[in-house]
Amino acid sequence: MITIRTARGADEPVLAEIDRHTWTSVVSPAPAPPSGTPFFGDGTRPDDVLVAEHDGVVAGYVRLGEGFGIPAHRHVLVIDGLAVDPDRQRLGIAQRLVEAAVAEARHRGARKLTLRVLGPNTGARRVYERCGFVVEGVLRGEFRIDGHGVDDVLMARPLA
């Protein structure tokens, strides 16, 4: 059974571990988080994170953030991160997390939910598309990863 809830401070070690186990150059242009990197902090609070539990075990998360933090952009929220424990992937957890993020964004009064995903991350792109996100733009060759140009795909879903 999959349940979704707001993160708690006590979830930090397992969420940080999921981050470390899911990081690849297909999912992030940033360097891998060093061992011991805290999950919460630097603008990420437990209230910004929804956690999926599978059979009572934390299995993944989705992080919501503000876009530009200016009044003209308050109606937009951003999916800042999505990860599922590799041992629990392909069980529908990612889709449930994205659907929960859509519901939470609506609850917070957002009129649009956006995200960025690397072009080669086709699995995540399919999940987002199943949840109603569409491509709004592509920044071609935006990143140089492993010596290759990688597209940054901008996706969004209206909530109004």
Domain extent listing, the chain: 2-158
pLDDT for the residue 67: 85
Assigned CATH topology for domain 2-158? Aminopeptidase (3.40.630)
Q: What is the pLDDT of residues 117-129, one digit of tens each?
A: 999 999 999 999 9
CA distances from 74 to 67, 102, 110, 133, 135 (A): 8, 16, 7, 19, 21
Question: Alpha helices of 34-154 — where are they, by DSSP H?
Answer: 93-107, 122-130
- pTM (global) more than 0.85: yes
pLDDT for the residue 34: 85
pLDDT for the residue 80: 95
Return the SS3 of 29. Answer: coil
Q: How would you classify the pairing of strands 76-84 and 112-118?
A: parallel
CA distances from 1 to 33, 35, 110, 141, 154 (A): 30, 30, 29, 40, 32
**pLDDT under 50 in the chain at which residues?**
none
